[in-house]
Amino acid sequence: MAKARTAYVCSQCGSEHSKWQGQCADCGAWNTLGAFVVEPAQTPAARRGSYAGAAAGAPRITPLASVALAQEARTSIGIGELDRVLGGGLVEGSVVLVGGDPGIGKSTLLLQMLGALGTRLSSLYVSGEESLAQVAARAQRLGLALDPLRGLAETCIERILEHAAAERPRVLVVDSIQTIWTELLTAAPGSVSQVRESAARLTRYAKETGSGVFLVGHVTKEGGIAGPRVLEHMVDAVLYFEGEAGSRFRVLRAFKNRFGAVNELGVFAMSDKGLREVPNPSAIFLSAHSEPTPGSAVMVTREGTRPLLVEVQALVDASPLANPRRVALGLEQNRLAMLLAVLHRHGGAAVYDQDVFVNVVGGIRVQETAADLPVLLAVLSSFRNRALPDKTIAFGEVGLSGEIRPVPNGEERLKEAATHGFVRAIVPRANAPKKGRIGNLEVIAVDRLGDALAAG
Ligand code: TYD
Ligand code: MG
């Protein structure tokens, strides 16, 4: 029989190499290869043997029409914001990876989830980080009914799967995947190969048994989930927990979801009784200014399927440095550099000798290009030390030639702004309502950056 061989797997791109190298030949990253044991390939004879068993329950070709309806059995968890991010509830046999900074509330949320499921779905909470006493104490503090909750303090995947096979939980939580290891490998727990293999075993378990599996993942300094990128490809959904240190609010974002919209947001507030849902989150990402302040602009973002009012703040200040600083919190850094170049070229404001800091209030991350225009309005407002008119919102993508491009769902964003008492909106021309008014919102439709800045 062929022996198991060792392969070296890149933690960035997941590609396999037969020898260890300092640099991954596929993606060019340095020091990312880790050892990994590969099961021996089956011999052709053995393979033919397994095909011979096709009649007895092995996979076979099936018309999709006959499977489509049976699939996607969803269970509502009973925590509305979590159901929303999952795309409408927990799907049978799905694997969900939950990432986020330490202490943001991953363990708390998943424990609350099991509590909310209660006796409706049997569950098992596998803790590799905390003792069961700690988990139980937390469950008690969260006010959960303890009876239906079962815990297991274990980190060896073989033993976890043994217990799971005996207990047959419908929902399995593994906290965290970085602590889990397999006997097949000699690498330390948390290493790329251990994480990849353990996650693969748990994924297989989910698909075979139809149980929902939740994996908690640690986040690296760069903000990705620690371990191989393939982890994100393996699972059905990747949820990121975001939030500002010191802020009560936590945002759960679907970064990938095979069963729902990506970028869907769920908003929670951390309280002494755990995470509470914030079902109408629009107003929490606005800071409470009593009067208009320079450097602040309000935008309507639409991440996922609901619009949100979000404040963007900028501070522009003369820089003592040869290379002035450009700092973007909650936005992409490169996008900011590009926008500042467009501002100079097409808006006539030169900030090359200024430090520019931009921050999205509330620790939320805005990824859509609709933030371009509000960012530039905030930057210019701070640069000129002149506040934008009161009760004004803006959104729109800014192109390299200074044109303002439309963004999806313009009307829905305007309605959200009107509902929250805003009276002016600076928006791309194609996003202005074709007929009629939205509330008492005065819509200023703009084509070029120059027009938009003049309106602000
Ligand atoms: P935790 O869920 O342990 O985070 P993670 O698993 O992501 O590392 O985070 C808990 C944090 O939240 C911790 O700092 C304490 C705080 N907390 C509360 O404020 N209220 C509560 O009811 C609980 C359980 C935790
Ligand atoms: Mg934890």
Task: Tell me the CA–centroid distance for residue 442 and ligand 2, in Å.
Answer: 47
Residue 71: its pLDDT value, please? 59
Task: Tell me the CA–centroid distance for residue 241 and ligand 1, in Å.
Answer: 12
Task: Tell me the CA–centroid distance for residue 123 and ligand 1, in Å.
Answer: 21
Tokens of 33: 């290869």
Report the greatest alpha carbon distance in the chain.
Answer: 78
Residue 222: its pLDDT value, please? 66
CA distance 76 to 78: 6
CATH architecture for residues 284-455: 2-Layer Sandwich (3.30)
Pocket-forming residues, ligand 1, beta carbon under 6 Å:
100, 102-108, 138, 141-142, 270, 272-274
Buried b (16+ CB within 10 A) or exposed e, 167-181: eebbbbbbbbbbbbb
Residue 101 CA: which ligand 1 atom is closest? 7
Q: What is the pLDDT along the chain (456 residues), one digit of tens a residue?
A: 456 677 888 877 778 888 888 998 888 888 888 777 766 655 555 555 544 444 555 778 888 877 766 556 789 999 999 999 999 999 999 999 999 888 899 999 999 999 999 999 999 999 999 999 999 999 999 999 999 999 999 999 999 999 999 999 999 999 989 999 999 888 788 888 888 899 999 999 999 999 999 999 987 766 666 666 778 889 999 999 988 777 788 999 999 999 988 888 899 999 999 999 987 787 777 777 778 899 999 999 988 778 889 999 999 999 999 999 999 999 999 999 999 999 999 999 999 999 999 999 887 889 899 999 999 999 999 999 999 999 999 999 999 999 999 999 999 999 989 988 899 999 999 999 988 888 889 999 999 999 999 987
C-beta of residue 180 within 8 angstroms of C-beta of residue 160: yes
Question: Residue 83 forms beta bridges with which residues?
Answer: none
Choose one of 108, 125, 219, 241 to mutate for the ligand 1 pocket test, by most ligand atoms within 8 angstroms of C-beta. Answer: 108
Task: Tell me the CA–centroid distance for residue 368 and ligand 1, in Å.
Answer: 30
Buried b (16+ CB within 10 A) or exposed e, 102-124: eebbbbbbbbbbbbbbeeebbbb
Residue with the two structure tokens 């590969």: 38
Please determine, looking at this structure, whether the domain spanning 75-279 carries the CATH number 3.40.50.450: no
Q: Considering the entire predicted model, what is its pTM?
A: 0.78
